[in-house]
Amino acid sequence: MPGHSRGRTILCSLVLAAGGVLVAAPSGTADPGVAAAPIVHRLRVHDKAAVNYAYWTRYADLRRVRTGFTGSVLGCLPGTDSPASLTATMRAINLMRGLNHLDPVTFSARLNDRSMLTALMIAANRTLSHYPDQSWLCYTRAGARNAADSNLAYRYPRINPVGVVRMYMTDDGAENRSVGHRRWLLYPFTTTMGSGTTHTTNAMHVRGDTTRTRHNPAWVSWPSRGWFPAPLVPGRRWSLSSGHRHADFSHARVRVHRNGHRVRVSRIAAGDRYGMPTVVWHLHERIHPRATYHVVVRNVRIHGRSVDRSYWVELFRPRR
């Protein structure tokens, strides 16, 4: 159980069964409670002004939004978080997806309600689990089932509707070396998610409706290629995913240069336990907020053929 030290944060992401890559899609019927997605989806990542504008309007300007949580652990009242909170969370997710030219997701009222039941359980017990049992305070069967399909977060003394998205995308901590939270938010085929946020916890249902008709880029990286806002850099833990379900990163080699100078890196994870096949590496130097990073990932195996991926990340400090 986490303590109450100031700023304590823990995350927990769901894992597919060994060898699983794609999730089983629930009913393809649209939920009547789906919220509208932002009109602009795929960002012009080579246009610095466009990325800068999107950063402010879909993330930075929304950091002051509070959860508006109406429930209470006392009495186990789930309540809701405010429409403004849900909108802020969804816009932040779709910013991260848009930077990789992924189609946007919407929130389902049904999945939001289930996620709130899960978030309430986490808040009452001050710990995380994808498989809570009936001994948990504020236990509900629906909340427990939802936990198995959700990214989970706890932050004391307060969580933020857009900050939680950044937490998932950063995926800090030794237990998150495979960046599972990040990979589920960037899963190309997802159409619907759900979110419930209390004052200190979030549950984000990431295994909602899916469809193969969604845009599936050949590569998805974080940080993404092109212009990238420095405040969104996930520390030194970077990743690259393949849009090919049979991609094999087990023998991939990663090289990174900053402004032409080689950066020492360590590959820390590779596999397909979460979302799409992915390789994760750690940079052994501090991140420079105004620098060009050239990333080369060699020897990705796809159907026995070796494939290389090369791209540039242009970090910048967003300005009004």
pLDDT in tens, 84-123: 999 999 999 999 999 999 999 999 999 999 999 999 999 9
- For residue 170, the number of C-alpha atoms closer than 13 Å in the C-beta half-sphere is 19
| pLDDT given at position 205 | 98
CA distances (Å), origin 55, targets 219, 246, 256, 266, 289: 22, 33, 25, 29, 15
Of 240, 258, 227, the residue nearest 310 (C-alpha):
240
What is this structure's pTM?
A: 0.89
CA-CA distances (angstroms) from residue 78 to 23, 34, 116, 149? 28, 20, 6, 19
- pLDDT, residue 16, reads 35
Paired sense of beta strands 150-156 and 8-12, if any: antiparallel
| H runs (alpha helix) in the chain | 48-58, 83-98, 109-125, 141-147, 163-170, 180-185
**And the tokens for 113?**
């309600």
For position 37, what pLDDT does the model report?
40
d(CA 108, CA 207): 12
Residue 192 tokens, joined: 């619907």
Question: What are the backbone dihedrals phi and psi of residue 6, each rounded to the nearest 5 degrees, phi first?
Answer: -60, 130
Task: Look at residue 13 in the predicted model and tell me its pLDDT.
Answer: 59
Question: Which residues are CB-neighbours of 186 under 8 A, at least 6 positions away?
Answer: 96, 97, 100, 102, 220, 222, 241, 275, 276
Residue 311 to residues 220, 226, 297: CA-CA distances in angstroms?
Answer: 11, 8, 9
Residue 24 is predicted with a pLDDT of 18
* Residue reference for tokens 């085929």: 189
Is the Cα torsion angle 62, 106, 21, 218 positive or negative in sign?
A: negative
Q: For strand 292-302 and strand 305-316, is the pairing parallel, antiparallel, or unpaired? A: antiparallel
Determine the pLDDT at residue 95: 98
- Measured between alpha carbons, how far is residue 268 from residues 177, 216, 241, 301 in Å? 7, 25, 14, 18
From first CA to last CA, the distance across the chain in angstroms is 41
Residues 198 and 90: beta-carbon distance below 8 Å: no
Strand order in the sheet with 278-283: 219-222, 237-242, 278-283, 265-271
Q: Which residues of the chain have pLDDT under 70?
A: 1-10, 13-41
Separation between Cα atoms, residue 197 and residue 71, nearest integer Å? 10
By CB atoms closer than 10 A (0-12, 13-18, 19+), residue 294 is: middle
Report the 10 Å Cβ neighbour count for 235: 12
